[in-house]
Chains A and B, each alone.
Chain A
Amino acid sequence: MDATAAALIGMGLAALGFAGSGVGLGVLFGKAIEAIARQPAAEAQLAKYIWIGMAFVEAVALYGLVVAFIIMGKA
């Protein structure tokens, strides 16, 4: 297989990591909305943790992106 083609496939596979981040975001916001629905008074306090959690979850997808870019450099 051509090295460039393999690199392109590898980059595509690295993008699969976004799926995990998507699941994470879904779980995060789903649970957050559930929690706020149960305890609307805690919204302000929860919002802080939601955004922090979002940044963490999002970062996971971006690690995949970095990997893709690294592969791009190796091609």
Chain B
Amino acid sequence: MSSTVTSTDVTNHAIAAVAPKMDPLHHFLVTKQVDVSFLGLLDISISNSVLWMWIAIALVMIFFRLAFKNPTTVPGRMQSLGELGYLFIHGIVTEIIGDKGRPFFPYIFTLFYFILFCNLAGLIPGSFTVTSQLIVTATFSMSIVAFSFVYGFYLHGSHYLKFFVPSGVPVLLMPLMVPIEIISFLARPVSLAVRLFANMTAGHTMLAVMFFYVITLPWWGAWLPFGFTVVFTGVEIFIGFIQAYIFTILTCVYINDSIHMH
């Protein structure tokens, strides 16, 4: 966590302003390292957020390259782990979408490992949590829902509009049900993005608050929040997995909805 950053920061503040100030959100701050824009239209600056996206990518590649450095038919430990990671996503895709999900497998595989390693890399002290940026999770969730919408139209044509008309509902209730269906569809990207973002933000904020207490309390009192941070880091690893899993599952569900309707 950026606890070290926060703590040193807070310590500096303490030196400057006598009393230390709590600033648990400081480590979510995006700072542009290289300010670049493409023809003045597209902002392609390199910030700490972008840097940690690349580090996450590098970690994914290192993990899988290590796992399959010299692949054998009878796998070693690392290879088993890599295969497990592959079969895990393969299982999700085939279970939720079925055979038609085969073309989406690489995308969903990439999505899962990108989010997972962003979540986990964010737990390295001093790092930046990419998935705690609402705009990043929103970019993914919006793209996914927009894709599922367009793909549904591509597959079913105007027939896809029936997706918003619940079956087995009396005609009288239609003016009520159709807007609800449309709103629930529009809520998909929001809930998908906010779930991941809020989980990451909340966990890291909690850790930052606890680290603040670790450094401000006297040594006999600091053990309590310190012990808590140790336990909570473990919980955060678990949450990082669960959230990446949920994000992937919901992506599959949305794509499945546009393929098979309901």
| Chain A 42-75: CB-based contact to B (< 8 A → 1; otherwise 0) | 0000000001101110110011011001000000
Residues in B neighbouring A63, C-beta threshold 8 A: 194, 198
Tell me whether A52 and B194 are in contact (CB under 8 A): no
Chain A, Cβ-Cβ closest to B249: A52
- Cβ of A59 and Cβ of B199 under 8 Å apart? yes
A 18-63 contacts with B by CB, 8 A:
51-52, 54-56, 58-59, 62-63
Whether B87 is near chain A, meaning CB under 8 Å from some CB there, is no
Give B230-246 as 1s and 0s: 1 = Cβ < 8 Å from A's Cβ atoms. Answer: 00000000000011011
Contact A54 B195 (CB under 8 A): no
Instruction: State which size class the interface on A falls in.
Output: 10 to 19
- Contact, CB under 8 Å: B195 / A55: yes
State A16–B165 Cα separation when bound (angstroms). 35
Number of interface residues of B (CB under 8 A): 14
- Residues in chain B near residue A66, CB distance under 8 A: 194, 197-198, 201
User: Is B191 an interface residue, CB under 8 A from the partner?
Assistant: yes
Contacts of A59 in B (CB 8 A): 191, 194-195, 198-199
CB-contact partner of B246 in A52, A62, A65, A69, under 8 A: A52
Bound-state CA distance A59–B202 (Å) is 10
Let me know if A62 and B202 touch, CB within 8 A. yes
Enumerate chain A residues within 8 angstroms of B25, measured Cβ to Cβ: 69
Q: Determine if A62 and B198 form an interchain contact, defined as CB atoms under 8 angstroms apart.
A: yes
Contacting residues of chain B (206-262) with chain A, CB-CB under 8 angstroms: 242-243, 245-246, 249
Measured CB to CB, the closest approach of chain B to A71, in angstroms, equals: 14
Q: Give Cα distance in the complex from A69 to B202, angstroms.
A: 10
Query: What residues of A have a CB within 8 angstroms of the CB of B243 in the complex?
Result: 55
Taking the closest CB of chain A, its distance from the CB of B255, in whole angstroms, is 17
CA distance A67 to B211 in the complex (A): 24
In whole Å, how far is B183's beta carbon from the nearest beta carbon of chain A? 16
Query: For the complex, what is the distance from the CA of A58 to the CA of B197, rounded to whole Å?
Result: 12
Q: Is A51 within 8 A of B242, CB to CB?
A: yes
Point out the residues of chain B lying under 8 angstroms from A54, CB to CB: 242
Residue from the list B194, B201, B246 in contact with A55, Cβ < 8 A: B246
The answer to whether residues A65 and B202 also contact, given A55-B195, A59-B191 and a CB cut-off of 8 A, is yes
6 contacts across the A-B interface (CB closer than 8 A): A55-B243, A56-B246, A62-B202, A65-B201, A66-B194, A69-B201
Q: Enumerate chain B interface residues (CB-CB to A < 8 A).
A: 25, 191, 194-195, 197-199, 201-202, 242-243, 245-246, 249
4 A-B pairs closest in CB distance:
A62-B198, A59-B195, A55-B246, A62-B202
